[in-house]
Amino acid sequence: MKKGWQLVSRKFGLLVFILVFIGGFKGIFGPTSLYVGVFVLTGLLMFKEMPLGVSLKRQWLLVPAFYGLVTVVPYWLTLVLPEFVKLFLVASTVLIILLVLVRTLQYQSYIPFLMLFALNQQDRTPIGPRLVAALVGGLVVVLVAVLYRKERAKNWPDSLEKAAFKPSLQQNQSLIIKLTAGILCAYLVGQWLGAVKVGWIMLTVISLTQPDLALTRQKSGQRLTATVIGLLVFTLLFLVLVPKTYFATLLIGISYAYMFVKTYFVKMIFNTVNALNAAVFSLSLTPNVMLVERLLFVLFGVVVVYLIGFAYRYFERNLTHQTA
């Protein structure tokens, strides 16, 4: 019983910290920095528990640079540039992050950066405040990681050293190829559709891409089912049952409940509800359109992941037969 109350109080304390951090971040850098704040917080919570795989000296440069990169490049993509230049920018951004973090890819160390990259797509708000927020946020992430892991910080292994880089690259090459190709395809589909929330396709690709195709199949089915359930839950709670005056309380309750969720399937239900809430109420987008787009874009993302997975397996088998 005592342990249960300790868990409840710890989770509540974490919720308060998250709300204060995001509120403070928006207050300092402006409302357009919301997504930056969310994924700076994600990086802060992740990297205080695990190493990034690069030396401490390089982290002070690389982490802010990554947050800046995934903020600036989507802005460049909104400019009038040749399509091949945009494709090069997308591929280069993804590859740089994955190759530098190659030693810790199995821990999904790329998540804060690539997911922010996805959500920054089609963002035409002024780049200045968001870029400053990204750079400062990156420094905060490194500072917190160092403080939490101070004794080991100076001895962190560096994946950029040649002896460590090559075996890590061989181990993770399938994930690197699939993620890069998948995000490129998601970007092209998004350009073709021309919709507001095309980043949802990229998010699905990032979430579902796995080295093992069987695991991708399993997660894809769960993701689609959870999305449908999340759409129904959002519709019932926010569009039918609960008056708008209680939305803030409801959102806090949902966020608190999410902290106790451990399974991927249930997490995706909560993620769907939260994503729709951000789109409809924070960005003032049309609810019916967002409901349809969420389902379609997740479906598009699943299709992209499957096509990339099967194509990779086909070429891998052909190459194996040719060299045998």
Q: Mind listing the pLDDT tens digit for each residue in 116-140?
A: 999 998 777 889 999 999 999 999 9
Residue 101: name the closest of 49, 148, 158, 141 by CA.
158
Residues 148-161 have a mean pLDDT of 58
The residues near 97 (Cβ < 8 Å, ≥ 6 apart) are 66, 69, 70, 110, 113, 114
Distance (Å, whole) CA 123 – CA 108? 25
Higher pLDDT, residue 130 or 51: 130
**Tens of pLDDT along 246-298?**
888 888 888 888 888 888 899 999 888 888 887 776 666 677 778 888 888 89
pLDDT of residue 158 exceeding 90: no
